[in-house]
Amino acid sequence: MLSNRASRYVLFCAVIGLLASIPWSSVLAEGPAEADPVVQTREVVVSSTRLPDAPIDPLLLPVKVTVITAQDIQKSGAKTVQEALQWATGIVMYDQVGNAFQQAIDLRGFNGAPVPSTAVFVDGMRMNEPDFGAVNFDLIPFDTIERIEILPGASAIYGKNALGGVINVITKRGTSKAQVTQETAFGSFGRQRHTTTASGPIGKFDYYANYGKESEDGYRKSSGAEISRFFGKIGYRPTAESDLTLSYTFVDDKLYQAGSLPISLAHPDPTRNLTAGDFFAHETNVVRLNGRQTLPFGLTFTANAFYRQAAENSEIFSQPFDADPSSTNPISRFLVKTASRGETSQLTQDTSFGTHRNTLVVGQEFTRTDMGNRYNAPPVTSGGYTGDATRRSQSIDQDILGLYVQDTLNLASTVIVTSGLRYDHDQMNQQYDGSTTLSGMKRYNRLTPRIGVAYLVTPNSSVYANYGEAFRVPTYNELWALGGGSNPALRAVHSKNYEVGVKSKMGTWGEGTVALFRSLVTDEILNVCGLTCVNAYPSAVNTNIPKSRREGVETTVKARYGSLADVTVNYTYTHATIESDIGITPFYYDYSGNTAYKEAVKRGSTFAQVPKHRLGVTGNYHPAEGWTLSMQGLYVSSQFHMNDDANVQARVPGYFVMNARLAYERPVPGGHLSGFLSLNNILDHRYATSGIIAQNNVTGGGAVERFVVPAPGLAAFAGLSYRFEGL
């Protein structure tokens, strides 16, 4: 293995070698490319309704929209969905588990704790897990993404969990000619990725297939991963009015979580793994069927059906990996099996009369989920006493029914009014080993409206305003928590959301958007301290707090200089506050002093793990044909640690990280050959994206202190790919 200094020298030489191979003399002689005199086609959005439908100009939508294409992802050098999203406005992203694949993502001041408030869809199927509402982004085949659309703010017609907004992922399908691509890449921390992709047409059919295998040893000790993914899609277009796709996804992954470190230990050695390591294994099979049929009288029918079977196995090891990295003696094992099936269908009617146009969408969706948990733990010995082995089982089923309608009316050629309404019925049943306190049935019903107006000031600029409502249903674990905090009386979280903004396209060289938003939330769910918190062992309960608020500004500016260079600047200011006086505590206490760790949270306190400022800058420079030099910089301001809702502890420091990527592509007989070199954190900055107030039971005698999850240092990733193209 090379030392850190030797590794950096090798990386430096590789960069110099690649830069030296660019024909700079011809670049300087050519000068900047001429601007295209033809106005380029604006980016379009296909997810303005629950199911993707006909493309629409974002200027006509009364909401800020971000579109990330496959080309954008490639230029950024992103290796996961989260990395592809991190440059966008409104994103809240952090690593709380200590590996490269499971960063948390949320939108507009919602921090994913205890439950994400952003709904994520892949080809029309909801990806949020039924137990915690989380999204396992590692289960999305990353190389198959055609585009990602981010619609921040309340999106009523998408149903539950969309308080922060919606992230919609659309996968690739067969191309107009046969292609086979093989890519191999290697990088720091033992990172490897090998993928094979085949796509093309067969008469009226098209096909797309991708198999990838990815692995990493990890920046931290025992934080590696092994992931195998397969994705296949068959498309059928019998006529110009009909389109049908059938896809299958299989993912099998094994992930280690290094967890957090006390600050006192993270500074001298951020690669340590102090506590007992967690091992998670996921396996998922997903079948999706999507169809679109154009009908007479301006009607279009769109439908989606899916079946998903998933299993998750986690193990907690008996001793710290620092003490014995080879330990395979688990003290507990947790197994979850989930089966979901559902369908969504919508009918769109498009009518023009005079200078007016009206688009009416009516739809429904139904999802059934069955989930079973099994928890096993051997006997526990403490103080000479040996407790019994623990064996628990749990069965859960959930039915979700949604009905929605949306209408878009062009009152004039410059005024577009969009209104919508959705009704949701959510019913869940839980049985837990015959326990009456941890078993029950709950029903939630909610009607959520939305209305927005967009005004075209010019053909290339618009102003807009919208109002929308959203809600989040409590999860099983909040209603019937196995580890304490159960509260079957929890109400659904509800938000009222306001947004105004400006969008403008500036000739052929740039565009910009500015959005101001405010979200007023009632009944947000937090773990609140009850009367028993006076004891050494604090008892907290999942509770609806009266009021909370998120507000801020999102700004995006894009500019390009002919075909030579382009740059995108994204800035987000977010202020997320608790608007009620509450008493709150995590489950921590000081062993020696026997004193509960408690906080009195006052109105105006800032939510933890929500930085006020995020500034992302991405740029691409094309010095010569086939060459692309990309740079990305991300600044994130300081934030409070998790469990510090009273804002009394020192914050997690802000950080700035810079990445670079150099790529070259050239045609060769029969196809294309390309290569790239990506450097992440090129300044080798030591930082953490998250922190938590917790007990130190390993080196601190149970004392409560600040922990952080260290981020990786300087890392390289390089690869080659060959794309064979048929006739």
Which of 457, 548, 452 lies closest to 499 in space, CA to CA?
452
The confidence score (pLDDT) of residue 482 equals 55
| CB-CB neighbours of 22 under 10 Å | 16
pTM for the full predicted model? 0.88
pLDDT band at 3 (very low <50, low <70, confident <90, very high): very low
Which of 133, 136, 198, 152 lies closest to 172 in space, CA to CA?
198
Residue 625 has pLDDT above 50, yes or no: yes
What mean pLDDT is reported for the chain?
Answer: 84
The confidence score (pLDDT) of residue 320 equals 38
Please give the residue that has the higher pLDDT: either 540 or 255: 255
Please give the residue that has the higher pLDDT: either 17 or 408: 408
Rounded percentage of the chain residues whose pLDDT exceeds 90: 59
Q: Where are the beta strands (DSSP E) in 381-434?
A: 381-382, 385-386, 390-412, 415-432
Please give the residue that has the higher pLDDT: either 240 or 25: 240
Residue 169 has pLDDT above 80, yes or no: yes
The confidence score (pLDDT) of residue 24 equals 37
The confidence score (pLDDT) of residue 21 equals 39
Collapsing DSSP to helix, strand or coil, 139 comes out as helix
Q: Is residue 402 part of a domain?
A: yes
Residue 594 has pLDDT above 70, yes or no: no
Which of 253, 166, 162 lies closest to 216 in space, CA to CA?
253
| CB-CB neighbours of 211 under 10 Å | 17
Return the structure tokens found at 557.
């500016």
pLDDT band at 326 (very low <50, low <70, confident <90, very high): very low
Q: Is residue 473 part of a domain?
A: yes
Residue 429 has pLDDT above 60, yes or no: yes
Whole domain around residue 190: which residue ranges? 32-725
Q: Tell me which of 253-257, 317-321, 469-473, 598-602 is least confident.
A: 317-321
Please give the residue that has the higher pLDDT: either 663 or 435: 663
Please give the residue that has the higher pLDDT: either 155 or 642: 642
pLDDT band at 314 (very low <50, low <70, confident <90, very high): low
Q: Tell me which of 296-300, 386-390, 485-489 is least confident.
A: 386-390
The confidence score (pLDDT) of residue 526 equals 87
Q: What is the mean pLDDT of residues 452-469?
A: 95
Return the structure tokens found at 100.
């490269």
pLDDT band at 122 (very low <50, low <70, confident <90, very high): very high
What are the start-end ranges of the H helices in 89-181? none
Q: Is residue 663 part of a domain?
A: yes
The confidence score (pLDDT) of residue 17 equals 40
Q: Using the CB atoms, write b or e for 364-400: b if 16+ within 10 Å.
A: bbebebebbbebebeeeeeeeeeeeeeeeebebbbeb
The confidence score (pLDDT) of residue 399 equals 93
- Tally of domains within the chain: 1
Residue 315 to residues 96, 129, 219, 377: CA-CA distances in angstroms?
18, 19, 21, 10
Rounded percentage of the chain residues whose pLDDT exceeds 70: 83
Cα 360 to Cα 284: distance, rounded to the nearest angstrom? 36
The confidence score (pLDDT) of residue 318 equals 37
Q: What is the mean pLDDT of residues 357-368?
A: 93
Cα 222 to Cα 146: distance, rounded to the nearest angstrom? 33
Residue 39 has pLDDT above 50, yes or no: no
Q: What is the mean pLDDT of residues 272-290?
A: 83
The confidence score (pLDDT) of residue 22 equals 40
Residue 511 has pLDDT above 80, yes or no: yes
Out of 150-164, 422-436, 454-468, 588-602, give the one with best mean pLDDT: 454-468
The confidence score (pLDDT) of residue 697 equals 73
The confidence score (pLDDT) of residue 179 equals 93
The confidence score (pLDDT) of residue 486 equals 81
Residue 257 Cα to chain centre, angstroms: 18
Q: What is the mean pLDDT of residues 275-300?
A: 87
Cα 312 to Cα 315: distance, rounded to the nearest angstrom? 10
- In 3-state terms the chain splits into helix, strand, coil percentages (rounded to 5) of 10, 60, 35
Q: What is the mean pLDDT of residues 411-424?
A: 91
| CB-CB neighbours of 24 under 10 Å | 12
The confidence score (pLDDT) of residue 14 equals 41
> Under a CB-based contact definition with an 8 Å cutoff, are residues 706 and 263 in contact?
yes
Residue 38 has pLDDT above 60, yes or no: no
The confidence score (pLDDT) of residue 591 equals 45
Residue 305 has pLDDT above 50, yes or no: yes
Q: Is residue 23 part of a domain?
A: no
Which of 497, 618, 495 lies closest to 84 in space, CA to CA?
618
Residue 711 has pLDDT above 70, yes or no: yes
Residue 577 has pLDDT above 90, yes or no: yes
Q: Find the CATH number of the domain harbouring 416.
A: 2.40.170.20
Out of 157-161, 182-186, 696-700, give the one with best mean pLDDT: 182-186
Cα 99 to Cα 712: distance, rounded to the nearest angstrom? 9
Cα 524 to Cα 238: distance, rounded to the nearest angstrom? 49
Q: Is residue 10 part of a domain?
A: no
Q: What is the mean pLDDT of residues 659-672?
A: 93
Q: Is residue 89 part of a domain?
A: yes
Which of 83, 75, 127 lies closest to 689 in space, CA to CA?
83
> Under a CB-based contact definition with an 8 Å cutoff, are residues 201 and 179 in contact?
no
Q: Is residue 25 part of a domain?
A: no
Tell me which H or E stretch contains 683: none
The confidence score (pLDDT) of residue 727 equals 57
What are the start-end ranges of the H helices in 179-299? 263-266
Residue 25 has pLDDT above 70, yes or no: no
The confidence score (pLDDT) of residue 128 equals 87
> Under a CB-based contact definition with an 8 Å cutoff, are residues 113 and 609 in contact?
yes
Residue 463 has pLDDT above 50, yes or no: yes
Q: Is residue 16 part of a domain?
A: no
Residue 536 has pLDDT above 60, yes or no: no
> Which residue is associated with the tokens 């062009």?
410
